[in-house]
Amino acid sequence: MPSISPSSISLLLRRRLMQALAAALLPLALAACGGDDDDVVADAPPSQTTPDTPPDDTAPPDDTPTRNTAYLNAQPGDVLKVEIKELIPTQATLGYDQIYYKLGRWQGDFDRPTWQDDEENQLEYLNDTVGKKFGDYCEDTGQGDVVKFTTIEALRAATLADPSTYECEDAPGTHADAMKTVVIGWDGNLYLTDGHHSFSALREIADGGPELEVYVKVDANYSDSPDHDAFWQRMVDNKKAWLRDGDNQPITVDQLPARLGLPHDDEPGGMQDDPYRSLVYFTRDIAYDAGDLPEFAEFLWGDWLRGQVTAGQLDPLSAYDTIATASNLDAVLAKSTIKAADLSPNNSNTSYSAAVRDATLRMNTLADDDVVSGDRTAGSLGHITMLPGQDDDTPTGEARGELSDLARSDVKDNGDERGAGKLWFAAHYRACGAPRAGACWGW
């Protein structure tokens, strides 16, 4: 075998080194000449990495969600200005009829012919309807009531999207006790614990929507929870989540909706309907006082009423006319009352008001210290005790009056304007859509 001189070995090594270097640089040359980036990534040898930079063992794994840092430092009692789309539901359901009431009332008909020749009545009607939208917004955001509009032109120009077109009595957060509340989540996001109906209605109204700015109060900051499961366990333990569907069946937190508002064909998501939550809403100020209630109090009442149905102590909602259509409005809105002398039922037994009346009478059998659900007593959930033989100016008489007015129209016997009942608005909106002439509203 012939011998190889050291100089030949050196030359051979230099040639091989040059070949290896050319192979390594070829992909970069292709990239510089407009080669395919995907090919560069796929073909690049390990030497293309940066060996001088040690791996970062503290970097989160790829599946760790990015935290929202905007609210991480918020403290209980803080007032936050946010958009509705930032608010995450902690319940799966709404009482749709409560939303329908809001949408029916907030959209007064500017062209309604009823009082076209009487500007005073027309202005009062529009303040009671369109003006109520701004009043509710101001109240829910801690700003008191809206300053009453003095002209129809001002009402026409007003829009929630432009705060300069209306005036609240006070600054945001002034009335903190009236504000809707959020919890700062483990991920830094805002979890709504009170205000699902209010903000869902604002999301649905034409001049509202998901980008509408609102003010909320921080109830608690749970961003120190280590993970998703620990956060939700904390929420459940502190009674800040209602994990039931529209049929009152248990759900998991993963089944909660991602957004507020009603479902729509052209938009994914939305919240379910719980008809007993609607029923309880209409018993407000009749069977219970909605002053200072714990979270999800009205769901607890609804759960109790379902139990009364199961026990045969109360007729199911299917026994009443509660689903309004253009053809059954009279049946839905037939008047139902409670007799003053002995608190016995009176008038219609099948209308929506009758369902409210019968639920009220059943709730009235409770004493304040009777348990409604868990550790919640009737008294802690605002229970009103009605007594027989009471005059109209007593608490019992006022509750009877609230029931009597639920389905009344917005026109007095003499033709003047008046505030209509909640059921009247809800039923008409469900059956007829927004108030306008020729749409079964009656004008």
In a domain, 235, yes or no: yes
Q: Looking at residue 241, which CATH number applies to its domain? A: 3.90.1530.10
Query: What's residue 292's pLDDT?
Result: 86
Q: What is the DSSP string of 337-362?
A: EE-TTT--EEE-SSSHHHHHHHHHHH
Alpha-carbon distance of 354 to 403, in angstroms, equals: 9
Shared domain for 209 and 281, answered yes or no, is: no
Question: Per-residue pLDDT averaged across 357-369, rounded?
Answer: 98
* Confidence check: pLDDT of 126 > 70: yes
Shared domain for 173 and 287, answered yes or no, is: no
Alpha-carbon distance of 392 to 282, in angstroms, equals: 20
Shared domain for 127 and 260, answered yes or no, is: yes
Alpha-carbon distance of 191 to 173, in angstroms, equals: 19
Shared domain for 202 and 311, answered yes or no, is: no
| Residues contacting residue 117 through CB under 8 Å, at least 6 positions apart | none
In a domain, 356, yes or no: yes
Range of the domain at 224: 66-271
Question: Per-residue pLDDT averaged across 66-91, rounded?
Answer: 97
Shared domain for 129 and 202, answered yes or no, is: yes
In a domain, 12, yes or no: no
Shared domain for 366 and 314, answered yes or no, is: yes
Shared domain for 316 and 175, answered yes or no, is: no
59 or 308, greater pLDDT: 308
Question: Per-residue pLDDT averaged across 193-214, rounded?
Answer: 98
* Confidence check: pLDDT of 208 > 80: yes
| Residues contacting residue 419 through CB under 8 Å, at least 6 positions apart | 128, 410
* Confidence check: pLDDT of 429 > 50: yes
* Confidence check: pLDDT of 291 > 90: no
* Confidence check: pLDDT of 199 > 50: yes
Alpha-carbon distance of 36 to 44, in angstroms, equals: 12
- Is the CA virtual torsion 303, 202, 263, 191 positive or negative? negative
* Confidence check: pLDDT of 4 > 80: no
Alpha-carbon distance of 112 to 108, in angstroms, equals: 8
In a domain, 38, yes or no: no
Question: Per-residue pLDDT averaged across 403-419, rounded?
Answer: 97
Shared domain for 370 and 308, answered yes or no, is: yes
User: What are the backbone dihedrals phi and psi of residue 320, each rounded to the nearest 5 degrees, phi first?
Assistant: -120, 160
pLDDT band of residue 63 (cuts 50, 70, 90) is: low
When divided into structural domains, the chain yields a total of: 2
In a domain, 223, yes or no: yes
Shared domain for 116 and 235, answered yes or no, is: yes
Shared domain for 349 and 233, answered yes or no, is: no
Question: Per-residue pLDDT averaged across 255-283, rounded?
Answer: 97
Q: What is the pTM of this model?
A: 0.85
Average pLDDT, rounded, for the chain: 88
Report which of 408, 409, 384 is spatially closest to residue 397, judged by C-alpha positions: 384
Shared domain for 286 and 245, answered yes or no, is: no
Query: What's residue 66's pLDDT?
Result: 85
Token pair 């994914």 in the structure block, residue: 268
Q: What is the DSSP string of 25-93?
A: HHHHHHHHTT--HHHHHHH--GGGS-TTS---TTSPPTTSPPP-GGGTT--TT-EEEEEGGGEEESBSE
Alpha-carbon distance of 48 to 31, in angstroms, equals: 14
In a domain, 322, yes or no: yes
In a domain, 55, yes or no: no
Shared domain for 345 and 392, answered yes or no, is: yes
Are 81 and 213 spatial neighbours (Cβ–Cβ below 8 Å)? yes
In a domain, 417, yes or no: no
SS3 215: strand
Lowest mean pLDDT among 8-17, 127-136, 177-186: 8-17
* Confidence check: pLDDT of 29 > 90: no
* Confidence check: pLDDT of 356 > 90: yes
